[in-house]
């Protein structure tokens, strides 16, 4: 129980520290309440100063001391890494650094992927982006997850509205080791059941990873998906790995066996960590995921986080907070990876 409480506290700390800048809305000239109060936002220091009859935030700019041109550049030291759940709270600032470092070690130790990738398109469907993005990220993820059982191949079937029947036909050729609530053919159809095709669904079937991808027309109708550079495809691959772990051991599909925040949090943690080219890049992407998604809980206290995790321990999970499985779940899994 103490370990669970530690994890809940860490998630609340991480969530609040990553979303503070957006919620506080501190900027030069905006009103403040306490004269002399200081806040640091994105490395900029603001001081609450009385200007006329108002108290406003003033950006304090300090001139750096000149340094000789031949002085060696030094990088800022990273925070202390946590080493166990017992010291996660004390060293929570080091969690992303530790998790990213762990991924780099796995890549160094495992130079070859354990899977192959094939991508097949409907006759009227264009590629969402370069196939190299997909293959690069899936291969990296396979190396990071080297200690996990993995499918020898992952097959992507991509289709738009005109090709949805083709997608259904291809999907129907596969056999699941689990008792599914919806057939693969129905899953393909659902990806295009709205105004346009969108999203992806992944299964472990017939010994391979099966990824069905709905492609909108135009391709970027719902946003520039190429900005993820294949991270989204690695996310799907992790779902295939989740499937192979349970294949032959359980008849229920993995999403019904795992907490919802774990089911989506693990693919998020693996794909975002693995896809980042540097710790700086990772911190920026991490911050974006936490800030750019609407917070659906009453607050960021450990109690609210605990309630969310408890409510999402077993399917069916509340749809009202489903998107937080991709953010809070991600941060929870990142914390576990870090130790």
Please determine, for residue 93, whether its predicted confidence score (pLDDT) is greater than 60. Answer: yes
- For residue 74, is it within any domain? no
Instruction: Looking at the structure, tell me whether residues 129 and 45 fall in a common domain.
Output: no
Same domain flag for 43 and 150:
no
What radius of gyration do the chain's Cα atoms show?
A: 23
Residue 3 pLDDT > 70: no
Q: Is 317 helix (H, G, I), strand (E, B) or coil?
A: coil
Answer yes or no: is 307 within a domain.
no
Query: pLDDT by residue (tens digit) across 264-282?
Result: 999 999 999 999 999 999 9
Q: How many CB atoms lie within 10 A of CB 76?
A: 5
Both 24 and 121 in a single domain?
A: no
List the domain range (segments joined by +) for residue 43.
13-58
Q: Output the average pLDDT for the chain.
A: 86
Residue 327 domain-assigned?
A: no
First-to-last C-alpha distance (Å) of the chain: 17
DSSP of 175-196, one letter per residue? --SS--SS-HHHHHHHTTSSSS
Q: Is residue 203 part of a domain?
A: yes
**Which residues, 6 or more positions from 287, have their beta carbon under 8 angstroms from its beta carbon?**
18
Same domain, yes or no, for 48 and 122? Answer: no
Residues 203, 129 share a domain: yes
Query: Whole-model pTM?
Result: 0.80
**123/226 same-domain check:** yes
pLDDT single digits (tens) 143-182 = 999 999 999 999 999 999 999 999 999 999 999 999 999 9
In a domain, 105, yes or no: no
Last residue of a domain, one of 249, 267, 302: 249
Residue 185, in any domain of the structure: yes
Measured in whole angstroms, the distance separating CA 235 from the mean position of its chain's CA atoms is 8
Residue 292, domain member (yes or no): no
Domain boundary among 249, 277, 301: 249
In this structure, are 48 and 135 located in the same domain?
no
Domain finish residue from 193, 223, 249: 249
Are 127 and 221 in the same domain? Answer: yes
Number of domains in the chain: 2
Are both 120 and 216 inside the same structural domain? yes
């Amino acid at each position: 129980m103490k370990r669970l409480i530690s994890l809940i506290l860490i998630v609340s700390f991480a969530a609040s520290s990553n979303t503070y800048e957006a919620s506080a809305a501190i900027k030069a000239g905006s009103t403040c309440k306490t004269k002399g109060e200081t806040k640091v936002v994105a490395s900029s220091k603001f001081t609450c100063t009385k200007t006329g009859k108002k108290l406003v935030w003033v950006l304090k700019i300090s001139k750096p001391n000149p340094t000789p041109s031949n002085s060696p550049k030094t990088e800022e030291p990273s925070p202390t890494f946590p080493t166990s759940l017992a010291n996660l709270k004390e060293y929570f600032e080091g969690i992303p650094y530790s998790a990213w470092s762990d991924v780099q070690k796995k890549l160094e130790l495992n130079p070859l992927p354990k899977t192959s990738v094939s991508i097949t398109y409907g006759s009227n469907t264009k590629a969402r982006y370069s196939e190299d993005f997909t293959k690069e990220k899936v291969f990296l993820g396979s190396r990071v997850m080297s200690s996990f059982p993995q499918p020898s191949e992952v097959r992507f079937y991509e289709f738009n509205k005109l090709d949805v029947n083709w997608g259904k036909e291809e999907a129907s050729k596969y056999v699941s080791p689990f008792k599914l609530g919806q057939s693969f053919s129905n899953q393909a159809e659902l990806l295009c059941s709205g105004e346009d095709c969108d999203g992806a669904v992944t299964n472990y079937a017939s010994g391979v990873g099966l990824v069905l991808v709905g492609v909108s027309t135009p391709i970027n109708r719902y946003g520039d998906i190429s900005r993820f550079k294949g991270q989204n495809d690695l996310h799907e691959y992790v779902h295939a790995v989740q499937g192979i772990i349970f294949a032959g051991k359980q008849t229920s599909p993995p999403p019904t066996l795992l907490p919802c925040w774990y089911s989506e949090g693990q693919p998020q943690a693996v794909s975002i960590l693995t896809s980042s080219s540097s710790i700086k890049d990772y911190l920026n992407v991490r911050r974006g995921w936490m800030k750019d998604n609407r917070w659906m809980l009453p607050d960021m206290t450990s109690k609210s986080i605990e309630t969310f995790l408890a409510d999402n321990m077993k399917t069916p999970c509340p749809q009202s907070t489903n998107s937080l499985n991709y953010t809070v779940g991600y941060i929870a899994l990142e914390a576990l990876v870090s130790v």
